[in-house]
A and B are shown apart, each in its own frame.
Chain A
Amino acid sequence: MWEWWRKYRPFVLGCVLLLSALLWYSVSLRQQEQTGFLESVVLRATGPVQGGFERFIAGSADLWERYLYLIDTAQDNRHLLEENRTLKAELAHNDEIRLENRRLRLLLDFKEAQTFESLPARVIAEDASSWFRTVTIDKGMAQGVAEGMSVVVAEGVVGRVIRSSERYSRVLLITDASSAVASLLQKNRARGVCRGQGEQLVLDFVLRLEQVAVGDRVVTSGMGGVFPKGLVVGTVDSVERRGFGLFQEVTVTAAVDFSHLEEVLVLLRSPQ
């Protein structure tokens, strides 16, 4: 027995250590919604440096665009892009209001539109790993940001706050594999859950009897308690109905271009 222990001691101790780490990870999942002490320290320590880098890169890019590369064209383009974003957001908002009004008239009921106080924030860093889709923003608890708050841009939903330190927060994007957004198809109100798949989204649990077409807009249903109702998630990219099963397979392209995310809005009041 002693011989066996001496021979296999490193292996056994290694396994015990690894299992302990796995156990701790499993236990920590219960506190996943809260920011831990070490995470908060890391966020505080890296935030200012990341912010400095972001400002330096943005300044360099700005210098290039303003003084070295087609000054007027760049300015016009920026102006038009901004206008286009605003109009797109208005259009999406109007569509949602029109459909909502129709339903409400039919039901002879009405519902007060929800308005949320929002806080603008700058994206200063991305996730350190290639697997996860999170970004760091330059607003934290000092500005009223807390875990669970929704983050949006004019085009649609960005994600939700998962970690918050005094001045910096981390946002889980809707394209992350661990993200799920309660959604519905704007046209026929078919419900589903939008899950992140890296670059794209998958709309799960849409009954195969529902009529879904490519190009249909997907909006938040407000059911999950995280995102307010009616925010644009994306548009249907492909629909597949297999010969069996209760549901159809729907892939969705996110409305937000996450590779060019610079400014976002944090909705300061949770829908709950």
Chain B
Amino acid sequence: MSRAFFYFSFAGVAVVLQTALLPVVLPAPYKPDMILILVVYLGLHEEPWRGGLLAYLLGCCYDGVAGGFPGLNGFLLLGIFLAVRGIVTRVNTESSPLLLLLVAAGTLLQTIQAAFALDFFSHVDGVWTLLFRQLPLQLLLNFLTAFVLLQLIVRIQKIFMPRRDLPGLRKLDSHYES
């Protein structure tokens, strides 16, 4: 329950940053997708059913502030969660660079899924060109944001909650410990 609260609180802060603060400092329409980063993190550290449900719920809530297609973000985030779960037993989840790599791969997968869903189900014309034109910068932004978040959260944890085990982070970033 407390972990779910943590995830939804993080999502709430991310949404406010993405909709109200970051558009002022970043060139329109680019903004990092912090919900995607959260779902990749969920994929690495949550149980399949619980994590899948959380990813889908986060996506459904995300529909309230992103796009005009109900259910689209739920489908996208569930797809990313399942893809991460699919490889999680074959990789070293304690590695920080892995999270960054998965965020980059997740961005690519999200773009393909979105273009597919919007083209074949909603018949949005020219959506492949539009989304893939934005992909390089979006990928870079998501990658940089994941890197900054990782650094920031680990440092905040070390300063304010040194003995508290934030879900997954201590294990994931053990090499930051001195």
Chain A residues engaging chain B, CB cutoff 8 angstroms: 10-11, 14, 17-18, 21-22, 24-29, 31-32, 36, 38-43, 45-46, 49-50, 53-54, 57, 124-134, 136, 162-163, 170, 172, 176-178, 195, 197-198, 202, 258-259
Contact = CB atoms under 8 A, between A and B. Distances in A.
Given A21-B56, A127-B67, A128-B65, A198 B133 contact: yes
B67 A134 contact: yes
A198 B129 CA distance: 10
Given A46-B16, A125-B19, A127-B29, 19 more contacts: A11-B86, A18-B78, A21-B56, A21-B78, A26-B121, A29-B70, A38-B60, A39-B63, A53-B20, A126-B28, A127-B67, A128-B62, A130-B31, A130-B134, A133-B29, A134-B67, A163-B64, A198-B29, A198-B134
Nearest to B133: A198
Q: Would you list the 7 A-B pairs with minimal beta carbon distance, nearest first?
A: A42-B64, A25-B71, A53-B20, A125-B19, A129-B66, A132-B67, A28-B70
A130 B33 contact: yes
Interface string B73-96: 011001100100110000000000
B130 A177 contact: yes
B82 A54 contact: no
Interface residues of B, number: 53
Contact of A177 (B28, B71, B126): B126
Given A31-B70, A38-B63, A129 B33 contact: yes
Nearest to A34: B70
A25 B20 contact: no
Given A25-B121, A131-B114, A170-B68, A259 B28 contact: yes
A21 B15 CA distance: 22
Interface centre among B30, B62, B65 (most CB of A within 10 A): B65
A223 to B, nearest CB: 19
A178 B68 contact: yes
Interface string B1-31: 0000000000010011011110110001111
Contact of A128 (B15, B69, B86, B133): B15
Contacts of B61: 38, 42
Contacts of B72: 25
A29 B68 CA distance: 10
Nearest to A175: B29
